[in-house]
Amino acid sequence: MYNPTKPYTKQIIELIKETWDTPFVSVKNGIILKKFAFPEACSSDGIGTKGIFHWRCRSFRNAVLDALAMNLNDLVLLRARPYKLQNHILIPKEDNEAIIEIISKLSDECKKRNIAITGGETSIHDNIIGMDISITADGFVEMPKVNKFEFGDVLIGIKSNGLHSNGFTKVREIFGDEFKDEFIEPTLIYSDIILDVNKNYDIHGMMHITGGAFSKLKPLLKNTDVFIKREHKLKPQKIFFDIYSKGVSSEEMYSTFNCGVGFILGVPKRSAYGILSDILRVGFKADIIGEIVPGEGNIKIESSFDEKIIIL
Amino acid sequence: MYNPTKPYTKQIIELIKETWDTPFVSVKNGIILKKFAFPEACSSDGIGTKGIFHWRCRSFRNAVLDALAMNLNDLVLLRARPYKLQNHILIPKEDNEAIIEIISKLSDECKKRNIAITGGETSIHDNIIGMDISITADGFVEMPKVNKFEFGDVLIGIKSNGLHSNGFTKVREIFGDEFKDEFIEPTLIYSDIILDVNKNYDIHGMMHITGGAFSKLKPLLKNTDVFIKREHKLKPQKIFFDIYSKGVSSEEMYSTFNCGVGFILGVPKRSAYGILSDILRVGFKADIIGEIVPGEGNIKIESSFDEKIIIL
């Protein structure tokens, strides 16, 4: 729990209180009353070593977006609408301004989405370089559905915002002390539009492209392969070409980084253009990037970095 | 979510699966079905910089007990029975053995208590010295009750196991590179016995003595003071006298460390001996350590370290 003896705790409580009455829950004296009776799903994730750069640049809003995105984009794979979350903030030294800024941005984002911030913890860890924000978010699932691609599915990719929050250990290995603005760009939150699409269309399978990148698609296959073609509008951003040019292989690129594609949906051919236009309408860049073909559970990608066809 | 591309993830899933069918929930394909309809409460906490020592000594079971204790002992303040949790494990480098050991011990502890481990995350943070285990635990509350001391309450203290999981930044400041076995002793989990006592008796107020130590009692007061007497059986352990002897004042001792008392209950005089004997029966050391007197919200403690009366 937020340490009641810390000077900023009163302010934290004031900020999170603004999220305590939603269409889904009401929170009072630490007790959470739910206004629904659906099955639930839960996600935990943090921002990893990207927190080194957010702390250095004090890009706290982006850090919050990263932490939220990592969880909401995972929850939506289970078709779960988030209704509450807890946060755990690790910073290397006391910094009231940082803590209040983080909670305040988090509260803003949660209010937009009817997510109650039911509590959390701020820890001062002088054994960490940089910061971490870890979130555990709960959602409810009105209509549970298995997350699997089907033969014949069209793959819709939604463009990423660059590196997002993965592969930063590799990034730091490659760039050493060099800093690039791209290191602190926030992860895009896809869950709002996906929840909308899920209401109107039958999504067979979907994946948030994070740690493990395109190899995360494997568990969604059954007697099928993923085929991702070279010719589509979601070209890797410049930062990925920078990384590739430092001697990282195509295989490693596609199994470590999103390479421009932050989220992938597998949908029946007949609904592909309807879904695509819904996604484009709210401002994301998206395109049809491939399809599900008969196979043995492999991911085949025509690399955008060279002439190779990668198999993961 | 646990990264599906990591080699140990299959083993993690096997271990946590053993917790997925309890009297309170059933978990299948990431979907949590609840078998109750009570209000809920939620707690998030980690082991702080104590993780430096646990990592060095590979005392993973103790680290798990620390993380669990920090959350279950907080949840019980809201009279919440834990039914599920998520974990977030931060380690400084890939170490499959460590991860499996941690999840395995956590699974053992959860099975004992009918807590489902619904998921989590393992992150490799090469920017951290040592490890952290952070847990977010949910509980249900059959009978919500305000947590306040009342005038005339008798204070029952339950003995701690030494430092528990707080004040480690101070500990490291004082002892430098010196290591003591006491640094890795696990925090005691009081919640099981407290939930039992709460069924049979009227507990007015209670507190887990962690960060902020005895000053955490303040929010439980209204026109009253806490008075803790010197003469009781819960003397501070040797480690606290070691710290005091390094020049830490009595005031700082009682506002940073539990000084031998890990949990405090404020109960009506008539039930004090019944509760005390229930607590002693399950193997804890406990004693009546003070009372609630009229006042203005102060904590008065007859110091065990010197002749002073501390006021917090």
- Residue-level pLDDT at A7: 82
Q: What is the mean pLDDT of residues A34-38?
A: 95
Residue A90: beta bridge partners?
A123, A132
Q: How many CB pairs under 8 A join A and B?
A: 153
pLDDT tens profile A189-221: 999 999 999 999 999 999 999 989 999 999 999
The answer to whether A264 touches A154, Cβ cutoff 8 Å, is: no
**Which of A 40-59 lie inside 8 A of B, CB atoms?**
40-46, 48-49, 51-52
What ipTM does this complex have?
A: 0.92
| Residue contact A48–B141, C-beta within 8 A | no
Spatial separation of the C-alpha atoms in residues A30 and A252, rounded to whole Å: 46
Residue B170: both structure tokens together: 């101070």
**Which residues are CB-contacts of A273 (< 8 A; sequence separation ≥ 6)?**
none
Give the C-alpha separation, A48 to A51, whole Å: 6
Q: Is the dihedral of CA B159, B163, B166, B171 positive or negative?
A: positive
Say if the Cβ atoms of A132 and B90 lie within 8 Å.
yes
Which of A:201-220 have CB within 8 Å of B?
A: 211-212, 215-216, 218-219
Q: What is the pLDDT of residues B5-51, one digit of tens each?
A: 788 899 999 999 999 999 999 999 899 999 999 999 999 999 999 99
The total of other beta-carbon atoms located within 10 Å of residue B175's CB is: 15
Partners of A45 on chain B (C-beta within 8 Å) are 1, 88, 121
DSSP secondary-structure letter at B80?
Answer: P
For residue B218, list chain A residues with Cβ-Cβ distance below 8 A.
Answer: 4-5
- Residue B70 has a pLDDT of 97
Tell me which H or E stretch contains A292: strand A286-294
Q: Note whether B32 contacts A40, CB cutoff 8 Å.
A: yes
Q: Does A233 touch chain B (CB under 8 A)?
A: no
pTM across the whole model: 0.94
Q: Coil, strand or helix: which one is A308? A: coil
Q: Which residue of A52, A121, A144 is in closest CB contact with B45?
A: A121
Q: Which residues contact A238 (CB under 8 A, 6 or more apart)?
A: A182
Confidence check: pLDDT of A5 > 90: no
Pairing of strands A116-124, A81-91: parallel
In this prediction, residue A3 carries a pLDDT of 76
A100 in reach of chain B (CB within 8 A): no
The pLDDT of residue B1 is 74
Residues 6+ apart with CB under 8 A from A68: A106, A109, A135, A137, A189
**What is the CA B91 to chain-centroid distance, rounded?**
22
Spatial separation of the C-alpha atoms in residues B118 and B83, rounded to whole Å: 10
- Mutation target vs B (from A2, A3, A5, A9; most B CBs, 10 A cutoff): A5
CA A13 to chain centre: 26
Q: Which positions of chain B have pLDDT values less than 70? A: none
First to last CA, chain B: 43
Note the residue count of chain B: 312
Q: Is A277 exposed, middle or buried (0-12, 13-18, 19+ CB in 10 A)?
A: exposed
Say if A148 is an interface residue toward chain B (CB within 8 Å).
no
A142 → chain B, closest CA residue = B31
- pLDDT digits 0-9 by tens, A69-106: 999 999 999 999 999 999 999 999 999 999 999 999 99
Contact between B49 and A4 using a beta-carbon 8 Å cutoff: no
